[in-house]
Amino acid sequence: MTDPIPSVETLIARARDLAPVLRQKARETEQNRRVSAETAKLFQDAGFFRILQPKRYGGFEMDYGVQMRVAAELGRGCPSSAWVSSVVGCHAWILGMYPDEAQKDVWGKDHGTLMSSSFAPMEMKLEPAEGGVTVSGRWKFSSGSDLCQWVQLFGMLPPANGKGPPDAVFVTLPLDGVKAKVEDTWHVSGLAGTGSNDIVVDKVFVPAHRILSFSKLRGGPTPGSAVNPGHIYQISLFAAFPMNLIGAALGAAQGALDLVVAGLSDRKAISQVKIAEQQSVQLRIARASANANAAEALLLQTTQNINRLYRSGEDIPLLERANWRINICFAAELLGQCVDTIFPLLGGRGLVTTDPVQRAWRDVHAILQHIAIVWDVTAAPYGQVRLGNPWPEMVKI
């Protein structure tokens, strides 16, 4: 007998209750450069990794965007931990689009099996083999990989007949610690506690059912829809994927704003003037609050549209899908402006790396560096679409 699926409100309340615990552990998480096994168990017990996992494999199969709202609550305490919760959890959504045989390989014996990923190969070799491919290479930025038993890797699959362009694919394989292992390389200034290490693979065979072409992830039924008919497994991957990244930034900015406001209540300048009574300070707090409020509203509206349209089964215009991408990127811009606006109010303590607001500032800017939400990278193709042209082919939305 399985436990009942919690409500969205229950999951968000669990995340809200965990935020103070994560805040107490945030410095340790940064120093260790990874989320601890204890924190991962808290997330497992709370059900955060199962939000987008198919029900038939013990998941909750909730509306897209719930994971973003949970990460926002966790991000108020520790953005790195929030990032791992959302990013690791979203791989269950992607695996739900694979053929059922691949899902059985990963979850057949343990519904709690976790997956990391990497879209960033430094070296990559996919060689056709009978019944699949042999994979070798090095991939970077695999967040939470030390907590995971499997990994999803981006690759370029050569055409079977040697003619035509290669096919952009995901390959899913087990992290056995020998032929596919995590290499500790994560030494960074922001999101320092995410353990986004390298994945090194040496001639691992991947059967055909664990190879998924990007061409099947552009919206509409996927290979997984045969067993997972829910609308979330038909969402265009590249139109919506950045929503898995932005929740931690939203929570980090909101949490930093709360801490700055609380810290200003009794602070005085050298002149003994209360800092909170200075109009320039009040204006900064107002602008930062508006930035965070606008970002949250835009993200919630976007997820509502994604779920409504895919649930309806209607054809979704390219411009609508492009709007989702640009909305997420603009929300990220607003959150960067939020933390930049309040950061000068820290004064000298803003130089201390252990200060939670300073950590939030670094983490928000680290999230803004992700290629999927860098403004210029998304704004240019959006402009193309708005002017009647297609989105770039390989990451077509």
CA angle 155, 161, 165 (to 5 degrees): 45
Q: Domains for the chain: give ranges and CATH numbers.
A: 8-112 (1.10.540.10), 115-215 (2.40.110.10), 237-386 (1.20.140.10)
15-28 pLDDT, tens digit each: 999 999 999 999 99
Percent of the chain with pLDDT over 90: 90
37-86 pLDDT, tens digit each: 999 999 999 999 999 999 999 999 999 999 999 999 999 999 999 999 99
Widest distance between CA atoms in the chain: 78
Determine contact, residues 241/213, Cβ cutoff 8 Å. no
246-295 pLDDT, tens digit each: 999 999 999 999 999 999 877 766 566 788 889 999 999 999 999 999 99
Q: Give the residue-averaged pLDDT of 174-198.
A: 98
285-319 pLDDT, tens digit each: 999 999 999 999 999 999 999 999 999 999 999 99
The reported pLDDT for the residue numbered 266 is 76
Q: Which residues contact residue 70 at a Cβ distance below 8 angstroms, ignoring those fewer than 6 apart?
A: 11, 12, 15, 48, 51, 85, 86, 247
Q: Give the residue-averaged pLDDT of 185-200.
A: 98
Mean pLDDT of the chain: 95
The angle, 0 to 180 degrees and rounded to 10, between the axes of the packed helices 79-95 and 66-75 is: 160
Q: Give the residue-averaged pLDDT of 213-235.
A: 97
The reported pLDDT for the residue numbered 1 is 41
Determine contact, residues 368/374, Cβ cutoff 8 Å. yes
pLDDT of 219 > 60? The answer is yes
72-103 pLDDT, tens digit each: 999 999 999 999 999 999 999 999 999 999 99
pLDDT of 340 > 50? The answer is yes
pLDDT of 177 > 50? The answer is yes
Q: For residue 343, how many other CB atoms are within 10 A of its CB?
A: 17
Q: Give the residue-averaged pLDDT of 365-382.
A: 96
Give bridge partners of residue 121 from the DSSP assignment.
Answer: 139
The reported pLDDT for the residue numbered 162 is 74
pLDDT of 108 > 90? The answer is yes
The reported pLDDT for the residue numbered 271 is 63
What is the band of 207 on the pLDDT scale with cuts at 50, 70, 90?
very high
Q: For residue 376, how many other CB atoms are within 10 A of its CB?
A: 7
pLDDT of 163 > 90? The answer is no
Q: Which residues of 189-220 are buried (b: 16+ CB within 10 A; e: fewer)?
A: ebbbbbbbbbbbbeebebbebbbbebebbbbe
